[in-house]
């Protein structure tokens, strides 16, 4: 058993064998110029501070043998899985499916849709393609996690208040315990990031727990022996 004593609102304990690291949408379309994030008028530089801590966490989690799952938001080339309510919302300078410097915006198979070089998935690590904001919506993520016996999630990625928040809410409703790692999630809006994390940990941890990744890495490095209650 590993325990993150400094987690908010209470210490967070997890069994590494039944825990997965979830890396949400660390795609060029959100983190690099010319993609979907920038087309919506955002400063993509705001998200890049997550890369170094996430790369360090990923290395430790891989070494400890935890399940690692990556997700990518995007759509089929014919956009048949992109509802009009999503396609037409937001008044971006370029819409989903339009050509951009990194290929068609948020379309599967395009250069911009793929995960940034710094966090390339290893062979064998599942990459879940999702059409929505939540990683459980219209994907096999739940089945994939249950098949591996996963009950706890270390949640990272972008953006804090959109795909991370939606996924944590979905996971909580499905019975997973989520620890969101504050320095490994990011938003284009610092205020939304702060409030988004506060919302997760508020009301006694209504959706989950929040901590920084060095605390989770330290917990992984110093597991304690759990004693079954008598």
The answer to whether 184 is a known catalytic residue is no
Nearer to ligand C5J, 44 or 220 (CB): 44
What's the min distance (Å) between Cβ of 166 and ligand C5J? 8
Taking the least distance from each CB to ligand C5J, the nearer of 69 and 158 is 158
Question: The tokens of 118 are what?
Answer: 């710094």
Sign of the torsion formed by the C-alpha atoms of 209, 221, 124 and 33: positive
Contacts of 148 (CB under 8 A, 6+ apart): 20, 67
Contact set with ligand C5J (CB under 6 A): 25, 30, 73, 133, 158-159, 162-163
Rounded-to-integer distance, Cα 226 and Cα 83, Å: 47
> 163 or 210: whose CB is closer to ligand C5J?
163
Instruction: Determine the Cα–Cα distance for residues 131 and 137; give it in Å rounded to an integer.
Output: 8
Q: How far is CA 217 from CA 11, 78, 113, in A?
A: 14, 42, 29
Rounded-to-integer distance, Cα 105 and Cα 131, Å? 13
Q: How far is the CB of 188 from ligand C5J (least distance, A)?
A: 8
The answer to whether 212 is a known catalytic residue is: no
Q: What's the min distance (Å) between Cβ of 168 and ligand C5J?
A: 12
Output 2 or 114, the one with its CB closest to ligand C5J: 114
Establish whether 25 is a catalytic residue.
yes
Return the active site residues. 25, 130, 163
């Amino acid at each position: 058993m590993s325990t993150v004593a400094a987690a908010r609102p209470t210490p967070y304990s997890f069994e590494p064998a039944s825990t997965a690291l979830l890396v949400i949408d660390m795609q060029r379309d959100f983190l690099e110029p010319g993609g979907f994030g920038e087309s919506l008028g955002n400063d993509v530089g705001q998200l890049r501070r997550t890369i170094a801590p996430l790369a360090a966490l990923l290395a430790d989690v891989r070494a400890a043998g935890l399940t690692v799952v990556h997700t990518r938001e995007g759509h089929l080339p014919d956009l048949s899985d992109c509802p009009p309510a999503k396609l037409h919302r937001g008044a971006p300078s370029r819409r989903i499916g339009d050509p951009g410097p990194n290929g068609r915006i948020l379309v599967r198979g395009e250069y911009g849709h793929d995960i940034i070089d710094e966090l390339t998935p290893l062979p064998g690590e599942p990459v879940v393609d999702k059409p929505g904001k939540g990683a459980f919506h219209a994907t096999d993520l739940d089945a994939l996690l249950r098949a591996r016996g996963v009950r706890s999630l270390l949640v990272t990625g972008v953006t804090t208040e959109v795909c991370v928040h939606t996924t944590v809410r979905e996971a909580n409703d499905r019975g997973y315990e989520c620890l969101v790692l504050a320095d490994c999630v990011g938003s284009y809006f610092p205020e939304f990031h702060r409030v988004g994390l506060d919302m997760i940990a508020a009301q006694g941890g209504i959706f989950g727990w929040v901590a920084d990744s060095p605390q989770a890495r330290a917990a992984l490095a110093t597991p304690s022996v759990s004693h079954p209650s008598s």
